[in-house]
Amino acid sequence: MTPPRDRRVVAVTGGTRGIGRAISELFLERGDQVCVCARSLDENDLPKEMARFSVDVRHPSELEGFARAVKSRFGSLDVFVNSAGISQWRPIGELDEAFVKEIVETNLLGTLWGCRSAAGVMKAGGAIVNISSLAGKRGSANNSAYCASKFAVNGITQSLAKELGPQGIRVNAVCPVYVRTEELTKALSKPDSPVKDQAVEAYLTSFAATQTALRRLPEALEVAGVVYFLASPDASAVTGQCINVDCGTFPQ
C-alpha cells in the first residue's frame, strides 16, 4: 500500500517507548505513515496504524533491511529518526568492555548505521533526525561512555549534513536534557547515577529548579515537536544543527 503523495513515510528506531514513542505518535497524529522498530515489540501496545519491525540497531544489516522494507512496502522513505539509545552511569575505574560496547554500539553505531541505511533509499527532500543529548555537548561525572557516544552522534550529524546536502537530504539532531520517561527513571535509580541517596523525582525536581532557566524539564512531546519541525518543509534551510531542548539548561 502506497500512502497518498502528501502523506510522508516516517521511520523511527526505538519508536515504541519513551521519547521515540512520543515522536512516532506525533507524526501519526498529524497524518503521516509511521513505521517503528525496536529490539522487542509489544504488538498490543502500539496503535494499529503503525507498521512495526523487530530490529536490533547494533546490527547494520537489520537496519538496512528495515529501511528497504519500509520503502518497498510504502513506496518511499521521507523521514528517518534515530531514537534508539540507552543511558547508564558508571565511574571510569569500573568501566568494562561489555558496558562500553553496549552503549557505543547502540547509541553511536546504531545512529551511524541508521543514517547510512536511510541515505541509501532516500530521495532529495528527505530528512534524518538524530536523537542526541545535552550530554553530547558537555561532560558529567560517571558518564564518560554515554557522553562519548552522544558527542559522536553530534559529529555524525554535522558531517553527514555536509555529505548528504548535495543529494537534497537534511540531517539534524535534537539534544534533550532529562525527560521523564520510564527508561530515565530506571537509569537514574542505579547506584552510580547523580541521584545518589535522593529519590529520583526529588533529584529531578531539584535539577529543574536550580539548573534550568524555565524551572522545569521538557516533556517528551516537546522533544517530539522539535523533531517534527526539523523534518518539515518549515525547516528546509536547516541542516547540520544540534538543537538543545533543555528549558535553558545550557544556553547557546
Closest C-alpha to 129, from 89, 173, 86, 88? 173
CA distance 70 to 72: 5
The grid cell for 211 is 539548573
Instruction: Examine the residue annotation and report whether 146 is marked as an active-site residue of this protein.
Output: yes
- Chain mean position to CA 223: 10
Residue 169 grid cell: 537530504
> Distance between CA 223 and CA 233 in Å, rounded?
18
**Beta bridge partner(s), residue 231:** none
Catalytic residue, chosen from 146, 178, 203, 228, is 146
Q: Check if the beta carbon of residue 13 is closer than 8 Å to that of residue 37.
A: yes
CA distances from 160 to 39, 65, 76, 82 (A): 26, 21, 20, 14
Please state, in angstroms and rounded to a whole number, the distance separating the CA atoms of residues 93 and 96: 9
User: Which has the closest alpha carbon to 204: 226, 174, 225, 184?
Assistant: 184
Catalytic residues: 146
